[in-house]
Amino acid sequence: MDFNPCMKHKLVRRTVRDFSEAELGPIAHEIDRDARFPWEVIEKMRGLNYFGLQIPRKYGGAEVDSISYAITIEELSRVCASLGLCVTVHNSVGAQPINSFGTEKQKERFLPPMASGERIGAFCLTEANAGSDASGVETNAVEVEDGYIINGTKIFVTNGGICGVALIFATVTSGTDKPSTNVFIAEKDMPGFSVGEIEDLCGMRANPVSSLFLEDCRVPLDNCLGQSGSGIKIALTALDSGRIGIAAQALGIAQGAFEAAIKYSKERQQFKKPISSFQTIQNYLADMATEIDAGRLLLYRACALKDGNKPFGTEAAMAKLYCSSIATRTTNLAMQIHGGYGYSKEYDVERYFRDAKVTEIYEGTSEVQRLVISRAVLSQHT
């Protein structure tokens, strides 16, 4: 068991860090303030394979291993969590389901433009009355000749305002058959597909999270993903991988806040000493460092299992649960260390604090992660 990162993973970290600090660092505050999606940076990211991280080479992707993937999301999010979110959702729950469940024809059609970032992906499960309950989707698909007609509204869609491809989970009712959940690949130019207003959210403000409306949207058979009735399986498989991405994102936010706290604690003088010389602050920093390290180990273990083609769902859920909880704790302590300045928008910790919370909510709430973990634990101890 080797806990040291290999040369490749060290280089991935430095490569993404160099890019993030140079290109995202100078604008992270402004795009959060203005809730602006930075297309100018996306253009630069497109040629560097950020949108084809785990897409196979034959479709134009970089096909990186899962630890490289996690490090990439971690480092983007360390500087700008909104962009980390865009990249991880696009890759893990946008493109990967097409790669895992799509036909060869669908992969050839959709994956190359997704790998290049020409078409950004979105994952549309959540509705007004469905989210944690994936089987409760009310968006309805009716089979017609050569396809389906879909009606419904998806909410809180990450990348919603910019997506070119959206995976729509819908309930299919046909005749006397039991209703089933299917997945449809909707495209932004399809008649009946439209984007709602961008949500005014607490954090992740540079990501255009929106509702998506499907009004008599006709989706051809060529755009049906997986077998009929396999929607829940596709959702759960996608979310297992998605949790690695969100855990990495949460870890990156925690790391960014932690580094900001260390820097500030060495600069800020009280009682003619830097506050880092006080034991209370030292205890805070020690807790933050320990928890971040523990989160990183949990995350990389899940990644290593995935790369070894072993079951990783429970471990990914543990990583997501823990990393998101330390993201909120670490950003809270980082703000505490910054005192009044930390509560001001002048300092990055205020943004980290707002960004952290949602990692406990999306791609499976912490409560759902506990459900996943407890089921595994109970089944192992019969």
Partner 1 sequence: MTTMLKLVTCIKQVPMVSELPWDPRTGRLKRNLAGGMINPACRHALEAALILKNTHGAEITVITMGADIAEEVLREALAMGADRGILVSDPKMAGADTLATSLVLSKAIKKACADFDLILCGCHTSDSETAQVGPQMIEELDIPGVTYADQLDLNGRLLSLQRLSDNFIETLEMELPGLVTITTQKQAPRYVPLAGLQDAFSQTDIDRLSLADLDLDSELAGAKGSPTKILKVYSPTATKDNTVLKGSARKIAQQLFDQFDDKIGGAIGKDIKNYQERP
Tell me whether residue 138 or residue 293 sits nearer to partner 1 (CB atom): 293
Cα distances from 286 to residues 118, 255, 289, 333, 343, in angstroms, run 43, 13, 5, 11, 22
| Nearest distance, CB of residue 52 and partner 1, angstroms | 8
Report d(CA 8, CA 279) in Å as an integer: 38
* Residue of 15, 151, 228, 230 interacting with partner 1 (CB under 8 A): 15
Tell me whether residue 27 or residue 183 sits nearer to partner 1 (CB atom): 27
Tell me whether residue 47 or residue 220 sits nearer to partner 1 (CB atom): 47
Residues 6+ apart with CB under 8 A from 154: 124, 125, 126, 127, 139, 160, 166, 168, 211, 212, 214
Q: Is 75 tagged catalytic?
A: no
* Residue of 25, 35, 63, 228 interacting with partner 1 (CB under 8 A): 63
Catalytic residue among 127, 291, 350, 363: 363
Footprint (CB under 8 A) of partner 1, residues 40-59 = 44, 47-50, 52-53, 57
Task: State yes or no: residue 61 binds partner 1 (CB under 8 A).
Answer: yes
Task: State yes or no: residue 64 binds partner 1 (CB under 8 A).
Answer: yes
* Residue of 12, 27, 303, 372 interacting with partner 1 (CB under 8 A): 12
| Nearest distance, CB of residue 309 and partner 1, angstroms | 18
| Nearest distance, CB of residue 64 and partner 1, angstroms | 6
| Nearest distance, CB of residue 50 and partner 1, angstroms | 7
Task: State yes or no: residue 284 binds partner 1 (CB under 8 A).
Answer: no
Nearest to 172 by CA among 141, 149, 145, 148: 141
* Residue of 24, 28, 31, 62 interacting with partner 1 (CB under 8 A): 62
Tell me whether residue 68 or residue 255 sits nearer to partner 1 (CB atom): 68
Task: State yes or no: residue 230 binds partner 1 (CB under 8 A).
Answer: no
| Nearest distance, CB of residue 201 and partner 1, angstroms | 29
Task: State yes or no: residue 244 binds partner 1 (CB under 8 A).
Answer: no
| Nearest distance, CB of residue 7 and partner 1, angstroms | 5
Burial of 225 (0-12, 13-18, 19+ CB in 10 A): buried
Using CB under 8 A as the binding criterion, the count of chain residues that bind partner 1 stands at 24
Tell me whether residue 18 or residue 30 sits nearer to partner 1 (CB atom): 18
Task: State yes or no: residue 68 binds partner 1 (CB under 8 A).
Answer: yes
Task: State yes or no: residue 231 binds partner 1 (CB under 8 A).
Answer: no
* Residue of 66, 72, 210, 249 interacting with partner 1 (CB under 8 A): 72
| Nearest distance, CB of residue 14 and partner 1, angstroms | 7
Tell me whether residue 57 or residue 375 sits nearer to partner 1 (CB atom): 57
Catalytic residues: 363
Residues that bind partner 1 (CB under 8 A): 7-8, 10-12, 14-16, 18-19, 44, 47-50, 52-53, 57, 61-64, 68, 72
